[in-house]
């Protein structure tokens, strides 16, 4: 039993000194003829399939084509939904020693220009358009001002690009310490920064995530999250390689397509974020689809209310696990186990990952707190990013002199080491000198049948300094629920000061690319008078 909120590194399994390319080669050696990749497209006849051998051969050809245009260490962006070429490019860049810059396909001109300029990308791969976003014309608009961007290649011309490489082009020596990706943090509280991840970090984090979850050899993993997120390009793509599993990345999340893929590809396991899981259960086809193959669901990226855990396990007959992490930690920091108790699944994010030190510290003193006390969660180990790209001051704020990554998340750790996320440090509400944690109130609101989604945040108050505000999306059929009813519901279950004094209703929550609710956007709308409050 722990006497402080500190988890020593579990070194039972050593960190693997592998690159992305070496991981792919190992998977081919173990399962050359097994299906490695299935394109998760809406039409079944378009679902391209690649074996592990075919994936390696195409990735090597693409790597040689890359090296005909770029030097190892240069940065190449990818701006597309989850097309199969995205995954091939990820493997090819790893083999070629290039750094892949992942870009959200929903980005508009200003956002795209910022990422390409800040990352100093030498090239970009993209699709012509996606979901009414005219990507080709947007790229043409911003490209003249990007002096370092030499190449722009459309995935529509992928076959020609791959054929342009020389078979005699040697592949470089790549080391586990080399940078492999720059992922821009999705920013629930502000503008994104580019987290530089290395081969060792992403390869091992994917490995431990899938091992802890229990994905079996040859099983089918459905990626519902975008590839530009660590949940897609790390956990999904690289975790499937570790398990020698079948990776089915959805083109982009759509609840009906997710249900179709689960049924027709006989999906064994999947990952997602709470907003996606809620959308699947609200879909009209939910009760008629055959999801009997699905045995485990892992969620991450945002807190999962206890009521949703119970509803998922009951509705699907599956076992649910929670993963917690962030881009800067190569993905996962802590993770639940399939055989955890119902209480642990609902209230915690499990135990720290192997080969990571984890501690919870007092936000004022930096001292490790006692078990059960609230503090900032920090991690140290192979998983910590190399830093924010060309942002030394921001890097120093995130990673201290002893190598600890400060996550900015508030958490507790119990005597067993189980971690419970309380909220974001920047989201903690100080009302009259008392620290209030939105997550606790959101969990209570979510148990009300009229609440589909809820976000609790702080707004200025002359008397108390800050006051609690709740923004709620009503569940279908419950449009008549009032703010007074929800306020009374919370007051019956929590101390009176935790009942939100301000309440607003929305038809849709503003979300980050990875599905997290953007509280800073809601706060701006509240303060700007855009949302009607009660």
210-243 pLDDT per residue, tens:
999 999 999 999 999 899 999 999 999 999 999 9
Count of C-beta atoms within a 10 Å radius of residue 400: 13
Closest CA to 71 of 201, 140, 169: 169
Tokens of 180: 């492999």
pLDDT at 527: 86
136-150 pLDDT per residue, tens:
999 999 999 999 999
Is residue 516 over pLDDT 50? Answer: yes
**Does any domain span residue 498?**
yes
Which of the residue ranges 296-305, 377-386, 522-531 would you say has the lowest mean pLDDT?
A: 296-305
**Alpha helix ranges (H) inside 97-152:** 109-119, 135-142
pLDDT at 188: 43
Q: Is the dihedral of CA 219, 349, 337, 209 positive or negative?
A: positive
The torsion defined by the Cα of 135, 137, 143 and 144, in degrees rounded to 10, comes to -170
The torsion defined by the Cα of 144, 146, 149 and 153, in degrees rounded to 10, comes to -50
Structural domain boundaries enclosing 494: 429-527
**Does any domain span residue 476?**
yes
Is residue 72 over pLDDT 80? Answer: yes
DSSP 236-288: IHHHHHHHT-EEEEBSS--HHHHHHHHHHTT--EEEE-HHHHHHHHHSTTTTT
342-365 pLDDT per residue, tens:
888 878 999 999 999 999 999 889
Q: How much of the chain, in percent, has pLDDT values that exceed 90? A: 74
d(CA 527, CA 402): 39
pLDDT top residue among 449 and 300: 449
- Cβ atoms of residues 268 and 220 within 8 Å: yes
**Does any domain span residue 339?**
no
pLDDT at 189: 44
Tokens of 269: 């396991």
**Does any domain span residue 12?**
no
169-225 pLDDT per residue, tens:
999 999 999 999 999 985 544 567 999 999 999 999 999 999 999 999 999 999 998
Which of the residue ranges 54-63, 77-86, 311-320, 356-365 would you say has the lowest mean pLDDT?
A: 311-320
d(CA 503, CA 523): 12
Q: What are phi and psi of 439, to 5 degrees?
A: -55, -40
148-176 as b/e, with b when 16 or more CB fall inside 10 Å? ebeebbbbeebeebbebbeeebeebebeb
d(CA 209, CA 192): 25
d(CA 452, CA 468): 19
The CA radius of gyration of the chain, in Å to the nearest whole number, is: 23
Tell me, rounded to whole angstroms, the distance of Cα 163 from its chain centroid. 33
User: Residue 433: which pLDDT band, with cuts at 50, 70 and 90?
Assistant: low
32-58 pLDDT per residue, tens:
999 999 999 999 999 999 999 999 999
Helix (H) or strand (E) holding 482: none
User: Residue 302: which pLDDT band, with cuts at 50, 70 and 90?
Assistant: low
Which of the residue ranges 73-82, 222-231, 511-520 would you say has the lowest mean pLDDT?
A: 511-520
d(CA 528, CA 523): 8
d(CA 400, CA 70): 34
Q: Which residues contact 110 (CB under 8 A, 6 or more apart)?
A: none
**Does any domain span residue 508?**
yes
Specify the 3-state DSSP secondary structure of 213: helix
- Cβ atoms of residues 259 and 286 within 8 Å: yes
Specify the 3-state DSSP secondary structure of 287: coil
Helix (H) or strand (E) holding 325: strand 319-326
Average pLDDT (298-302) is 76
**Does any domain span residue 481?**
yes
**Does any domain span residue 480?**
yes
Which of the residue ranges 10-24, 317-331, 443-457, 501-515 would you say has the lowest mean pLDDT?
A: 501-515
User: Residue 303: which pLDDT band, with cuts at 50, 70 and 90?
Assistant: low
Write the CATH number for 486: 3.30.300.30
439-451 pLDDT per residue, tens:
888 988 989 999 9
Is residue 495 over pLDDT 90? Answer: no
Chain-wide mean pLDDT for the chain? 92
Which of the residue ranges 3-12, 212-221, 296-305, 405-414 would you say has the lowest mean pLDDT?
A: 296-305
**Does any domain span residue 217?**
no
- Cβ atoms of residues 501 and 491 within 8 Å: no
pLDDT at 497: 82
Indicate the number of domains in the chain.
1
Is residue 108 over pLDDT 50? Answer: yes
496-511 as b/e, with b when 16 or more CB fall inside 10 Å? eebbbbbbbbbeebbb
Q: Is the dihedral of CA 54, 60, 61, 66 positive or negative?
A: positive
């Amino acid at each position: 039993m722990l006497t402080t909120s500190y988890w020593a590194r579990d070194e039972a399994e050593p960190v693997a000194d592998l690159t992305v390319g070496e991981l792919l080669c190992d998977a081919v050696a173990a399962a050359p003829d097994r299906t490695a990749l299935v394109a998760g497209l809406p039409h079944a006849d378009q679902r391209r399939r690649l074996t592990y051998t075919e994936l390696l051969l195409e990735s090597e050809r693409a790597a040689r084509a890359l090296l005909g245009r770029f030097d190892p260490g240069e940065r190449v962006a990818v701006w597309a939904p989850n097309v199969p070429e995205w995954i091939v490019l990820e493997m090819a860049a790893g083999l070629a020693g290039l750094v892949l810059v992942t870009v959200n396909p929903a980005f508009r001109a200003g956002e795209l220009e910022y990422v390409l300029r800040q990352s100093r990308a030498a090239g970009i791969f993209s699709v012509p358009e996606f979901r009414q976003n005219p990507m080709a014309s947007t790229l043409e608009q911003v490209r003249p001002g990007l002096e370092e961007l030499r190449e722009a290649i459309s995935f529509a011309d992928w076959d020609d690009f791959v054929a342009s490489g020389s078979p005699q082009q040697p592949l470089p020596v790549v080391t586990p310490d080399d940078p492999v990706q720059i992922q821009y943090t999705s920013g629930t509280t502000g503008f994104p920064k580019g987290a530089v991840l290395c081969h060792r970090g992403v390869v091992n984090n994917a490995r431990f995530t899938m091992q802890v979850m229990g994905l079996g050899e040859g099983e089918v993993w459905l990626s519902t999250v975008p590839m530009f997120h660590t949940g897609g390009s790390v956990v999904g793509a690289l975790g499937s390689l570790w398990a020698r599993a079948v990776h089915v990345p959805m083109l982009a999340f759509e609840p009906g397509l997710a249900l179709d893929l689960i049924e027709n590809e006989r999906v064994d396991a999947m990952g997602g974020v709470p907003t996606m899981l809620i959308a699947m259960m609200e879909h009209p086809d939910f009760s008629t689809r055959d999801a009997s193959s699905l045995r485990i669901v892992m969620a991450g990226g945002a807190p999962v209310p206890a009521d949703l855990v119970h509803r998922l396990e009951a509705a699907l007959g599956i076992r649910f696990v929670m993963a917690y992490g962030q881009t800067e930690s190569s993905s996962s920091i802590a993770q639940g186990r399939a055989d955890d108790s119902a209480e642990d699944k609902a209230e915690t994010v499990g135990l720290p990952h192997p080969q990571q030190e984890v501690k919870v510290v007092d936000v004022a003193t930096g001292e490790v707190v006692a078990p059960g006390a609230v503090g900032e969660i920090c991690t140290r180990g192979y998983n910590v990013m190399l830093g924010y790209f060309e942002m030394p001051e921001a890097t120093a704020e995130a990673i201290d002199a002893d190598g600890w990554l400060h996550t900015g998340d508030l958490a507790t750790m119990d005597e067993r080491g189980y971690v419970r996320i309380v909220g974001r440090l920047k989201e903690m509400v100080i009302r009259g000198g008392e620290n209030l944690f939105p997550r606790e109130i959101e969990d209570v609101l979510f148990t009300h049948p009229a609440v589909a989604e809820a976000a609790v945040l702080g707004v200025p108050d002359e008397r108390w300094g800050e006051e609690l505000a709740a923004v709620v999306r009503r569940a279908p059929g419950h449009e008549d629920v009032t703010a007074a009813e929800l306020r009374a519901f919370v007051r019956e279950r929590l101390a009176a000061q935790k009942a939100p004094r301000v309440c607003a209703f929305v038809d849709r929550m503003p979300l980050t690319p990875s599905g997290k609710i953007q509280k800073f956007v809601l706060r701006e709308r509240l303060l700007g008078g855009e949302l009607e409050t009660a």
